[in-house]
Structure 1
Amino acid sequence: MVNFTRSEDLIDPLSRVLEPPANETSEQRAAREAREAEARRVSDRIDEQIRSEKQANSRNRAPVKVLMLGQAESGKSTTVKVFQMSYARQSWEAERMSWRTVIHLNLVRSVNRILAVLENVPETETAGRVNLLRMRLSPLRRVQRDLEMHLGLAEGDELHAAADTGVFRCPAEVCLRSQNGWANALGLARQKTRGQGKRSLAEEALEVILMSRDDIAALWGDDEVRTALDVRGLRLEDQSGFFLDDLYRIAHRGYEPTDDDVVRARLRTVGVQEFRFFVEIGGEAGREWIFYDVGGSRSHRGVWHPYFTDVKAIIFLAPISVFDEKLEGDPSVNLLEDSIKLWTTVCKSKLLSKVQLILFLNKCDILERKLARGVSLKRYIPTYGDRKNDMPTASKYLRNQFLEIARKQSPEPRTVHCFMTTAIDTRATAKTLAAIRGRILNDNLQSAELLR
């Protein structure tokens, strides 16, 4: 039997509830419509608030991108390491032991640099004991190559010295040629360390280092060797990756790198490097920070522009201790002059005029030591005039010069946050990074229209 549904049964029950009362007066209808309009406005406001909060959360979790600029050896990688140590502690701890091999390489490389200089020193300038040490330490050249192979580094040039020019060059520095920089080398080292059975190249290299410890100490402590290095302008203690003063602590089977050791370690990278860290502390936990180190040497500066897009801040590092040093490969160019030219280019760029600009006048510790030794700033910077050759006066002068360039060369008025820094001073650098991190985040929120 077929059942027929009456038309009144098809009426939506909700529509019956929403129907106006049958005997509604005009005044009641006006009041009801006003209530319904207010309810719609409240509902729309709630919906808009929900959409805004979703957008805010989405924007708030977008990566914060920072561009590191500066010439080679300015301290960019060191600064990135201090950021990781301070805000991404778990990833830092996971990598810390892997730096052990890098630090051993730094130690051996310093010894080989000394040996390269001594090869071109007349025997009349050194005693027979120095020549004996040179012979006994010669296996460390092979150790350096083995450690480079263990880390998967690009092959370096042979140790050499340009005796014809009177400028003795240290061994060419080996480099990483990968986008992920030291992360790849450390990952490779970890994989090889986990291997079973046969000893790794790093372990074999350490055995040779252990057998050479006393000879290394004798070489570094020899007055005639130190004199030969000073005459040729090689001050290893002023360069990154210097560990000769920590020889017996580092050349040890039970050695575990400290935070300061890792920050001081040197592993030069070639090309553009990208470092990603997720902040693990505070209200920003889970936020990703991306640092781009685009390389500071002249040959790399042509690839900078693609990385200017969408960065929230530029940290420019200018090592002010290099006022008496020359550009490698072009001894006619003063290193501080080269850094100033690079800074001027960044300030003049219209593409970067809206990007927050942070200036680190770095390596203040080395500048202070040089001035204390009597190295004259006026000799290399005539405009310094008759000012005192001390750290407070010199740092103030250089700071004013860099800020004046920014004021004159910027396409439009801008604020430059300037800090006097020593990147390897982890505590001081961490405090500086905490200050600029707040500024960068604040600027990031403003650009996302979350702050008015």
Structure 2
Amino acid sequence: MELSENPFIVAFKVPANETEEERVHRARAFQDAQRVSRQIDENLQETKRNLDRRKRAIRILLLGQAESGKSAVLKNFQLAFTPHQFQKERDLWKTIIQLNLISSVRTLLNILNDVDSNVQSLLTPPRTPGSHPNSSYSNKLRRIHLGLSPLLSLENDLNRMFFATGGPSHEICVPAGSRWKSKLGFRDSASVHQDLKLTNAQNAIKSNLIQLLEASKDDIDSLWRDADVQRALGEREVDLRDTPGFFLDDVERIASASYCPTDSDIVRARVRTDGVEEHHLVAESIRLKGNEFFITDVSGARSSRHSWIPFFDDSHAILFLAPLVFNQMLEEDPRVNRLEDSLLLWKEICSNVLLANCNIIIFFNKMDILRRILESGVEVRKFVPSYGNAPNEVESVTKYFKDRFKTYHKKLSPKPRSFISHETSAIDIHSTTALVVTVHDGIIRDNLEKSDMI
């Protein structure tokens, strides 16, 4: 191409009989074009740097069904490798934990008011005075219910303001990538701009929540510890302690105006993420300072599992969460046993050819709940007939399910690989934090071996 035919040259070529005004306009257009060109070059360089940095970083994919404990494991990674960042976020978790507490109260009241429950009359006024055998007691529960109404109403308002949720479940649910933490006052490099008026409104409703919760803590504690309420839960075979975000045993502490969340509180807190969210961690410790890793947390809902596949070929390791809770059904499909669903999911992961060269590490999670279930006398064979008459003890039950997962791993993997498993209770921050450090070191060592560097 002739130089005179180059469109980039022609556009800024000095025309004949150019006026001064035209010259100034042409010069400005040329400067603007140069600025845009430099910006494009800088963006391309930044994109290349990010891609290079990502290639050097450890990439981990968290997999498992909904409520398997993925978020708790993620928080343990943050606590282990980025403790200062974890500390900065402490205050925002105060609101989340208080909302978790109120959500448990609402769940409890809904159970007591269920028309199918034998204790429905505990919250429903008798048709005639004194017609209920525990009329004075029922009046007490109805008074508590009425007294908690403003708190429940405020929970609705706060959920709508911060999270745009307020459905029947009242569960805190945030879309992936929504930067929901900034709405609760947390500032990072990507959320420096915030509407001051909205922030003031948020601060006001958070302050109201603290005051109202403190005023209601005696009623909440009385409701939760009441013997008849506990009997009602037992009749319906409901154990709220097994639910994510449970804090009813800590009402006195959490409902206090001076409450500050502990590390354990934050790990136990429940926020459901809808979609795929990637977390970028830069290690702060002296030994690993500057080391980066990307942890991808995907939605475990059955309807969202098709979205996992694009992340398979970009991961150094998969952490698969399999809660050993054999007597629970999926919330999204009450016909499906949770543990059987985990096994089906595990088989799909093990057999996927995209993951043939990927480390798969399985966490047999919620061991604390398994122990409590067995100690309460629940028999495994009633839910898993193939377990037969084996001992109804933690060690035996764990070995049985571990052997099943191990068998599928060996049988279905496209090529031989080690079966790596750990027994965990993700809300136990001391043991799990130590474990994630071990897992991290193992991933590093395996990658070096594959690169023939050791």
TM bin, normalised by shorter chain, reads 0.7 to 0.9
CA distance, structure 2, for counterparts of residue 440 and residue 197 of structure 1? 45
CA contact (8 A) 1:154 1:177 kept: no
AA aligned opposite 1:116: N
Give a deviation string over 1:248-299, Cα, whole Å, max 9, x none: 1111111111111101111111110111110111432111111111111101
Contact 1:69–1:294 under 8 Å retained in 2: yes
Could you say which residue in structure 2 is the equivalent of 1:431? Answer: 434
Paired residue for 2:356? 353
| Structure 2 match to 1:267 | 271
Is 2:171 aligned against 1:148? no
What's the counterpart of residue 65 of structure 2? Answer: 71
Which 5+ residue runs of structure 2 have no aligned equivalent?
1-51, 122-131, 187-193
Deviation at residue 450 of structure 1 after TM alignment = 5.2
The answer to whether the Cα contact below 8 Å between 1:60 and 1:445 also exists between their aligned partners in 2 is no
Aligned partner of residue 304 in structure 1, secondary structure: helix
1:233-252 aligned at under 5 Å gives the runs 233-252=237-256
- 2:397 is equivalent to residue 394 of structure 1: yes
Secondary structure of the residue aligned to 1:357 is: strand
Q: Which residue of 1 aligns with 2:346?
A: 343
Q: Which residue of 2 aligns with 1:173?
A: 171
Partner of 1:84: 78
Deviation at 1:199, TM superposition (A): 4.9
Alpha-carbon contact 1:154-1:174 (below 8 Å) kept:
no
Going from structure 1 to structure 2, the CA distance change for 1:61 and 1:337 (only over 3 Å counts) comes to: closer
Q: For the residues of structure 2 that align with 1:100 and 1:172, how far apart are their CA atoms?
A: 17
Determine if contact 2:82/2:283 at 8 Å carries over to the other structure.
yes
> Which shows bigger deviation, 231-240 or 357-366?
231-240
Return the letter of the residue paired with 1:74: S
Q: For 2:67, give the aligned amino acid.
A: E
> Deviation digits for residues 216-266 of structure 1, max 9, x if unmatched?
111001111112122223211122211111111111111111111101111
Q: 1:363 to 1:353 in 2, by over 3 A?
A: same
> For 2:431 and 2:148, how far apart are their aligned partners in 1?
38
Report if the CA contact (8 A) 2:160-2:166 is conserved: no
C-alpha distance in 1 between matches for 2:202 and 2:434: 45
State the identity as a percent: 37
- What residue is the counterpart of 2:367 in the other structure? 364
Distance 1:197 1:368, change over 3 A: closer
The residue type paired with residue 140 of structure 1 is L
2:230 is paired with a residue of what secondary structure? helix
CA distance in 2, matches of 1:341, 1:75: 18
TM-score, normalised by the number of residues in structure 1: 0.79
Q: Which amino acid aligns with 2:140?
A: R
Q: Give the equivalent residue in structure 2 for 1:98.
A: 92
Q: 1:149, CA displacement in angstroms?
A: 3.4
Per the alignment, residue 128 of structure 1 pairs with 139
Opposite residue 84 of structure 1, the aligned amino acid is: Q
Q: Secondary structure at the match of 2:305?
A: helix
Partner of 1:190: 185
The corresponding residue for 2:39 is: none
- 8 Å Cα contact 1:67/1:293 also seen in 2: yes
Distance 1:367 1:198, change over 3 A: closer
Larger Rg: 1
1:23-80 per-residue CA deviation (whole Å, 9 max, x = no partner) reads xxxxxxxxxxxxxxxxxxxxxxxxxxxxxxxxxxx78981211000000000001000
Question: In the superposition, relative to structure 1, how do residues 115 and 198 fare at CA in structure 2: closer, same or farther (>3 Å)?
Answer: closer
Q: Identify the match of residue 227 of structure 1 among 225, 231, 244.
A: 231
Amino acid at match of 1:190: G
Q: Any conservation in 2 of the 1:63–1:290 contact (CA below 8 Å)?
A: yes
Q: Distance in 1 between matches of 2:426 and 2:410?
A: 25
Contact 1:64–1:444 (8 Å) recurs in 2? no
SS at match of 1:269: strand
Work out the CA distance in 2 between the residues paired with 1:60 and 1:246. 41
Contact preservation (8 Å) 1:320, 1:362: yes
Matched, 1:217 2:228: no
Measure the CA separation in 2 of the matches of 1:309 and 1:430: 27
Cα gap change, 1:112 to 1:439, in 2 (>3 Å): same
* Change in CA separation of 1:241 and 1:397 when aligned onto 2, cut-off 3 Å: same
**C-alpha contact (below 8 Å) 1:312/1:443 kept by paired residues:** no
Give CA deviations for 1:326-347 in whole Å, capped at 9, x if unaligned. 1223222111111110011001
SS at match of 1:274: strand
Deviation at 1:435, TM superposition (A): 1.3
- The aligned residue for residue 285 of structure 1 is 289
- C-alpha distance in 1, partners of 2:383/2:434? 32
Distance (Å, rounded) in 2 between the aligned partners of 1:413 and 1:445? 19
Q: If the length of structure 2 is used for normalisation, what is the TM-score?
A: 0.79
1:69, 1:197 → 2: CA distance?
37
Residue 430 of structure 1 and its aligned partner are, at CA, apart by 1.2
> 1:198 offset after TM fit, Å?
8.8
Deviations 1:285-329 (A, max 9, x none): 1111111111111011011111112210000000112x1111223
Letter in 2 for 1:336: L
Relative to structure 1, the CA distance from residue 258 to residue 289 in structure 2 (aligned partners, 3 Å threshold; closer, same or farther) is same
The 8 Å contact of residues 82 and 263 in structure 1, kept in 2 or not, is answered as yes
- Which string of whole-angstrom CA distances, capped at 9 and with x for unpartnered residues, describes residues 331-375 of structure 1? 221111111100110011111011001000000000000000000
Decide whether aligned partners of structure 1 residues 198 and 345 sit closer, same or farther in structure 2, where only a CA change above 3 A counts. closer
Aligned to 2:262: 258
